[in-house]
Amino acid sequence: MFKDRVLSGMRPTGFMHIGHYHGALKNWIKLQSEHECFYFVADWHALTSHYDDPRVIETSTFDMVTDWLAAGLDPNQSTIFLQSQVPQHAELSLLLGMITPLGWLERVPTYKEQQENLKEKDLTTYGFLGYPLMQAADILVYRASKVPVGEDQVSHLEITREIARRFNHIYGRESGFAEKAEAAIKKLGGKVGKQYQALKIAFNQDGNAESLEQAKALVMAAGSISNAEKETLLGFLTGARRTILPEPQALLTPTSKVIGLDGRKMSKSYGNGIDLRETPASVEQKVRRMPTDPARARRNDPGDPDKCPVWTLHQVYSSDETRAWVRQGCTTAGIGCLECKQPVIDAINAELAPMQARIIEIEAKPGYVKEVLHDGCAKARRVAEETMLDVRSAMGLAKV
């Protein structure tokens, strides 16, 4: 039985902004107290598009991880590591490449999109085409069950699942598997065993997805069989095969409501963000300069919060009460825009103050971030190696 494991990664982009915090980090931090979590810096992924300026990758890595820790990722609860220090990711990526049809990679929507977006770069490389394959390896090498990501990563999770399915189909054959499954069904007991068989047929003959879910639940709840037998019965539901690489689920993080200061998506490359390290004076200045509903050209013109980027910040940072005050004041021209922005400025600064205090603490301990990553990498390599032992043997690679 595979563990309930969460895994996610970010390309090293340096200092984190409040969009990263509300769109991903806050969720990672919440998950670490509920699950076994692995979070990593995807520095190889950064190289797929930034192969020509490698120097920024290293500094960005340390800046980013410092911000992760300051925001509340806890190395005692989560395994925090660097992709390029865990060679098992590369090995699995190579091996999965043997069974991944080129067409699958060419059809991932981000492939063409990113080539369009980054026209000035030559992205007709082998590495860039392999981006989603490498991501699949990142996930499958930990046999992660849940992957918190944003909407934009859904197609990468989909291809990860397809690659896992294909891998299990090709390499999960095991002699005597069906006999083992039959024996486990007997141990389920007459009534439950019959239910299992009926649900298996309903799924395989009629494609009834609900039957599959019911059968899985039935197996998981069975008290009379071991974990190994449960695994056999789960694999047997979809074929006479063993699951070597389980299919992960995306844990969709709602697209961050925090949008950029200019109303576009908050992004480092647009220069429209508020960093976690932003000083209170700079937060104040940036928010005060933010555009508002263009209909409110003068103080006496009423406005509509739904047409104002500042409102998106109120949705993240303000209480119901403050939001009601904004709506009322804006639509009746009862408040001015600067007045409206003040509670947002105060809330952002209150949120950032403790993080900034931790950044100072962390940076006062030279080598600390390196140490965290060093320990995280060691743990990650141990877990990844367990998977690779199974993968190598399933693929017929001899051990000498």
Comparison of 20 and 296: residue with beta carbon closer to ligand TRP: 20
- Asked if 256 is part of the footprint of ligand TRP (rule: CB under 6 A), the reply reads no
Q: How far is the CB of 149 from ligand TRP (least distance, A)?
A: 5
d(CA 394, CA 76): 34
* # of chain residues touching ligand TRP (CB under 6 A): 13
Contact 219, 236 (CB under 8 A): no
Considering the complex, what minimum distance in angstroms separates the CB of residue 263 from ligand SF4? 11
48 contacts 93 by C-beta, under 8 angstroms: no
- Single-letter code of the amino acid located at 85: Q
Q: Phi and psi of 37, rounded to 5°?
A: -120, 140
- Output 139 or 337, the one with its CB closest to ligand TRP: 139
Among 69, 149, 185, 340, binds ligand TRP (CB under 6 A): 149
Closer to ligand SF4 by CB, 146 or 341: give it. Answer: 341
Find out whether 224 and 187 touch, Cβ atoms under 8 Å.
Answer: yes
Interacting positions 87-146 with ligand TRP (CB under 6 A): 135, 138-139
42 is a contact residue toward ligand TRP (CB under 6 A) = yes
27 binds ligand TRP (CB under 6 A): no
What's the closest the beta carbon of residue 278 comes to ligand SF4, in angstroms?
19
**DSSP string spanning 147-202?**
EEE-GGGHHHHHHHHHHHHHHHHHH---TTHHHHHHHHHHHH-HHHHHHHHHHHHH
Q: Please select the residue that binds ligand TRP; options are 37, 64, 92, 147, rule is CB under 6 A.
A: 147
* DSSP secondary structure string for all residues of 233-267: HHHHHHSS---SSPPPEEEEPPPPS-B-TTSSB--
The Cα 232–Cα 392 span in angstroms is 20
Part in contact with ligand TRP (CB under 6 A); list of ranges 147-155, 182-190, 203-211, 355-363: 147-155
Tokens of 353: 């103050």
Q: Which does 273 bind (CB under 5 to 8 A by kind): ligand SF4, ligand TRP, none?
A: none
Q: Which does 138 bind (CB under 5 to 8 A by kind): ligand SF4, ligand TRP, none?
A: ligand TRP
3 state DSSP class of 4:
coil
- Which residues of this protein are in contact with ligand SF4, per CB under 6 A? 292-293, 296, 303, 305, 308, 310-311, 326, 330, 335, 337, 340-341
**Rounded CA separation 278/216 (Å):** 49
CB of 308 to ligand SF4, least distance (A): 3
Min dist CB 40 to ligand TRP, Å, is 8
Q: Could you give the CA distance from residue 120 to residue 123 in angstroms, rounded to a whole number?
A: 9
Would you tell me which residues interact with ligand TRP (CB under 6 A)? 7-11, 42, 45, 135, 138-139, 147, 149, 153
